[in-house]
Amino acid sequence: MRTLIFDTDIGVDDAFALAYAARTQHLLGITTVFGNVPVGQAVKNARLFCGKMAIEAEVYRGCSRPLAPSAPAALHGQDGLGDAFENEYSDRAPGAVQFIIDSVRAQPHQITLVAIGPLTNIATAINQAPDIIPLVKELVIMGGAFGTDGHSGNVTPFSEFNIWKDPHAADQVLTSALKVVVIPLDVTHKVLISGEEVQRLNQPVLSAICRPYLAYSLAKEGFSGMALHDTLAVAWLTLPQAFTLTDSPLRVITEGIACGQTVRKLSALASRQDPFAGLPAQRVALGVDADAVRAHFFATLTAP
């Protein structure tokens, strides 16, 4: 069991991941960030979901905009949680970035950061306090796409949503000395759950919030179900043996038609200009035992 700071722009699949994390890890706090919804709504959503699911964790308010502008989306309903519940919670909360900095300094080498939204909070924290970089136990990111088995971007042909929302922050984080594990669409698209299986979890809150998400999937892809995208960042912590990883320096393209694309160094051949020169190798999951991850997820969420 890890001690986690759970960084999220909480939408539907984020909520599934949070429910899973609450049952498998120790949540030190939930830091919110803009992304699926504005950051104030993310604070309200985190509090609402924790209240509905009896999750005890303090919620913190993080960054409200990317390091450079990008566009909105409403896949998760207008409120980010499927418009399933009235939400009277306050959007005021202590600062997320300072919470990350203070927590890592207070518990060096003990805290794992799990980031399943744009990486703005993480980039801001390491920019403000670079001394925390070697003190973070690990940073696990759900984000990016590298084209394995045809799994490329989900918001452009190149770019995954979390990275695309703040590519400059992502490039800063992935090129830093943080110990990073990236869980990209290459593996998350392989771990699917049908609408019927959601019902069999016997988790009424999860069933309620995912209805617009399932409807969108059915309309766009002909599948009444969803990929357990963000949940796989937590699954890495619970079942690392289910993942196949490769080590490589990483970059994020920050402009042009491929803005938001994650790229890794594929060759050791010399080149005149090497954008990976001097960068640390990060770990990227490019394979997954989907059956093992699904089985553990179902067993965890259906347990009393």
Query: Which residues are annotated as catalytic?
Result: 229
User: What CA–CA distance (Å, rounded) separates 211 from 207?
Assistant: 7
Which tokens go with 303? 């347990």
Q: Which of 190, 195, 213, 173 is nearest to 67 (CA)?
A: 173
The continuous run of DSSP H or E covering 285 comes out as: strand 282-288
**Does residue 185 sit in helix, strand or coil?**
helix
Q: Which of 86, 26, 34 is nearest to 57 (CA)?
A: 26
DSSP, residue by residue, 121-170: HHHHHHHH-GGGGGG-SEEEEE-----GGG---SSSSS--HHHHH-HHHH
DSSP, residue by residue, 34-83: SSSS-HHHHHHHHHHHHHHHT----EEE--SS-SS------TT-TTSSTT
**Strands 250-252 and 262-264, sheet pairing:** antiparallel
Tell me the Cα Rg of the chain.
18
Q: Exposure of 227 by Cβ count < 10 A (0-12 exposed, 13-18 middle, 19+ buried)?
A: buried
Q: Which of 36, 23, 98 is nearest to 62 (CA)?
A: 98
